[in-house]
Amino acid sequence: MSEFLAMGGYAAFVWPSYLIAAIVMLGLLVVSVRTWRDSKSTLEKLQDGRRDRRRPRDGAT
């Protein structure tokens, strides 16, 4: 195991490469999914609001 982690003496170069790639790719994924969820809930709220406003109220003609 320690031999695997040592990467033939190049651990300081191999592991940061994988770590940085993982951080950047997971980070972009999280940000993208979060933006999508936020946009979805905002849109649903707006659509509900519009439906409510269009519903005839008491006394409305």
Partner 1 sequence: MHRFANPTRFMRLSARILPWAAGLALVLTLAGLVWGLGYAPPDYQQGDTVRIMFVHVPAAWMAMFSYTFMAVASATALIWKHPLADFSAKAAAPIGACFTFIALVTGSLWGQPMWGTWWVWDARLTSVLVLFFLYLGYMALWQAIEDPQKASRAAAILALVGFVNVPIIKFSVDWWYTLHQPASVLRLDGPAIHPSILWPLLVMALAFKAYFVTVLLVRIRSEINLRKIRAMQQARIAEEVGFAAPPAAEITGRT
Contacts with partner 1, residue ranges (CB under 8 A): 4, 7-10, 13-14, 16-18, 20-21, 24-25, 28-29, 32-33, 35-36, 39-40, 42-44, 46-47, 50
Dihedral angle of Cα 20, 25, 30, 32, to the nearest 10 degrees: 140
Smallest separation (angstroms) from partner 1 to the CB of 59: 20
Smallest separation (angstroms) from partner 1 to the CB of 8: 4
What's at 2, amino acid-wise? S
Smallest separation (angstroms) from partner 1 to the CB of 35: 5
Q: Which residues contact 14 (CB under 8 A, 6 or more apart)?
A: 7
